Amino acid sequence: MNILNFSENIVNLRHKKGITQEELADFVGVTKASVSKWETKQSLPDIMLLPQLAAYFEVTVDDLLGYEPNLSKEQIQKIYFDFMTEFAEQPFGEVMEKSRRMVKKYYSCHSFLFQICVLWLNHVSLTPDPQRQTEILEEASALCSRIISDSRDIGLCNDAILLKASIDLLRNKVPAVIDTLEELLNPYHYSFQGESILVQAYAMSGQKEKANKYSQYNMYIHLLALVFGAVQYLSLHANDLDACRETINRIDRVMEIYDLEHLHENTAAQYHYQVAAIYCIHQIPEVAMERLKKFAAITGSLLSRDRIYLGGDSYFNSIDDYFENMDLGGNLVRDKKVILGSVVQALENPVFEILKDNEDLQKMKKMFQAKGESL
């Protein structure tokens, strides 16, 4: 509890009410010296006096103490990005302990707890200790469970369910993940038609702008889901070259039509990386290297910019508001230095063993290593 603002608050409330220290002391039955010590941070009132003081000034006890149990979206963003930078620059253990202290301080702010879970999930790989990783993931899973059980925000609870599933998958709690999501994501549920129904409702009520924005955003999200689904499909069918080639052929056309390499660089980079892996598995190094070059070019371009955020383009021209209103504003969830380290690790994946002597691949790794070291 942040009680350090009590002295300032008691002074301001007393002045606002137009009373002296002595008058306040008489009301609560203490000495004037006691009130003076409260206001100069030398001591605090007995806990039993807090309700009486709050009632006298017609404020809540939380207001009297200066305690704010919930953070604004802007405050959560700042804390997240501060921690993100610290994880890239300071010892992992120190930053983890600092973030844990913040969790205790704002334990009732469910939106903040959710973003802390996202933060931990995105940075847990920075510690090489498997046991420590497991412990952090367990903590994050427990925080998600708290959100699910205690929050009254249905949207946040649903997000926490999915985030917990992602965390539990890393914990190898596969049966639990299936049990949780299998029914929730049942495609036969009528809820899957909710998006189109809402667009129709907006249009029928004359809210054409809302209908347009929501329709565009749905197309955008499903486009990304299609490509990411293809990445997973390629992984599942990695040994079936015909199935992979057909998938690659179709997604390449989708990527070109929607200019996905500019619209959503991260998704495009992940796709080219997975395609490169497929061609390496099937001993086709030349084509694999072409895809890795695309992966490197897109990633390098993405990380070369001062500010990176999600947005639309000339076709998806009404969706920027959605990203600006996201909890993290559509910004990167990891520091560039951390991302560059992950890129180097990705290029060292054993699947690319066939390319180990390729000069272009070695140049790529050195380039990303140098960029990371320069930050």
Mean pLDDT of the region 81-110? 95
CB 253 within 8 A of CB 260: no
**3-state secondary structure at position 72:** coil
Find out whether 99 and 82 touch, Cβ atoms under 8 Å.
Answer: no
Q: Taking 50 as the threshold, does the pLDDT of residue 137 lie above it?
A: yes
What DSSP character marks residue 192? Answer: G
**Rounded Cα gap, residues 24 and 26, in angstroms:** 5
Average pLDDT, the chain: 93
Report whether pLDDT(3) > 80. no
Q: pLDDT band at 75, cuts 50/70/90?
A: very high
How many other CB atoms sit within 10 Å of the CB of residue 117?
A: 26
Query: Residues of the chain with pLDDT > 90: what percent?
Result: 82
Decide: 254 and 227 in contact? Cβ < 8 Å: yes
Give which of 264, 266, 274 is closest to 244, Cα–Cα: 274
288-318 pLDDT tens trace: 999 999 999 999 999 988 777 788 999 999 9
- The predicted structure's pLDDT at residue 4: 58
pLDDT band at 62 (very low <50, low <70, confident <90, very high): confident
The CA–CA distances, whole Å, from 325 to 171, 194, 238, 321, 329 equal 31, 21, 38, 6, 6
